[in-house]
Chains A and B, each alone.
Chain A
Amino acid sequence: MWSWDDAQRMGAEPVIEAIVFWVLAGGAVLSALAVIVPPFGKSPVHGAMALVACFFCLAGLYVLLAAHLMAALQVIVYAGAIMVLFTFVIMLLNLSDAEMGHPKYTVAKGVGVLVISFVFSKMLRVLGDTDVPGFSAVGDSGAYGGVKAVGNILLRDFLIPFELVSILLLVAIIGALVLAKKRV
């Protein structure tokens, strides 16, 4: 673990980065677990609040990765807009316990979780065998991850996908309206 000699050898920055990473990563994993584990995630409102906490932790990790624009979007779009939509629907439905459905633990689910943990162990194995290069130095000049840098690429190299996404959002608006309205 941490020692003063390490800090002297590496300089203060990596140590601070490591501390921030572990705090945020722990927070993200714990709040993600709180979304799905029944005692905490029993009520969907609690699950939604845990998910908001998870999104904030991830936004912090994005800042650590020098992705400043994406961190801002994560907070504004995910933790803001999408989760407001979720909590709005949860409160609109105002579910009773019976309407929510009781969690059933069947053999098939147990097998599914086992298969998933097997896939996970294989993923870790592959990652252990692969030599991922370290982070490249990006500096603070805003040439990486800033609004200007990402916006330039977005509106120059990815202009057509960008316009397609706007059409997709329009379709989603109309689709949501048609589905949610009582009488079309």
Chain B
Amino acid sequence: MTPITPDHYIILAAVLFMIGVVGVLTRRNALVLLMSVELMLNAANLTFLTFSRVHGDNQGHVMVFFIIAVAAAEAAVGLAIILSVFRHKRSVNVDEVTAMKR
């Protein structure tokens, strides 16, 4: 068994990010879409912490702190938008939200 290197963590973060992107591309449920975005933000967090550890510097942790705060704000506003869309359309399918298209 080989020792764990930063490459392992970076590849894991890339895999998680790809899963998030595929989720955003293929799923049409707005709730699952938001969850996929959270997944991508977490992959970015993992990369920040990995390189923070490589450099032995705490600044990456501060970035992760800010990302977590922004993710919380994004989730709150995003879920509020989903709620108000659901009230108008009776659906959370993003394919049916086409008011801006016409």
Which residues of A are in contact with B by a Cβ distance under 8 Å?
1-3, 6, 10, 14-15, 17-19, 21, 25, 28-29, 32-33, 35-36, 38, 41, 44, 47-48, 51, 54-55, 58, 61-62, 64-67, 69-70, 73-74, 77-78, 81-82, 85-86, 89-90, 92-93, 95, 99-101, 103-105, 109, 112-113, 116-117, 120, 123-124, 127, 132-138, 144-145, 149-150, 153-154, 157-158, 161, 165, 168-169, 171-173, 175-177, 179-180, 182
For chain B, residues 29 to 50, give those with C-beta under 8 angstroms from any C-beta of chain A. Answer: 29, 31-32, 34-36, 38-39, 42, 45-46, 49-50
Q: Mark B14-34, 1 if CB is under 8 A from A, else 0.
A: 111011111101111101101
A interface: dominant SS: helix
In-complex Cβ contact of A36 among B4, B19, B71 (8 A):
B19
In-complex Cβ contact of B16 among A28, A66, A171 (8 A):
A28
Interface bracket on B: 35 or more
A176 and B55 CA atoms in complex are apart in Å by 38
A73 and B79 CA atoms in complex are apart in Å by 21
Q: Tell me which residues across on chain A come within 8 A of B8, comparing CB atoms.
A: 21, 25
Most chain A Cβ neighbours within 10 Å, of B32, B68, B82: B32
Q: When the two chains form their complex, are residues B53 and A136 in contact, meaning their CB atoms are under 8 A apart?
A: yes
Q: When the two chains form their complex, are residues B39 and A165 in contact, meaning their CB atoms are under 8 A apart?
A: no
6 further A-B pairs in the complex, CB-CB below 8 A; given A132-B5, A132-B7: A18-B4, A19-B1, A41-B32, A61-B46, A62-B46, A103-B26
Q: How many Å from the CB of A125 to the closest CB on chain B?
A: 12
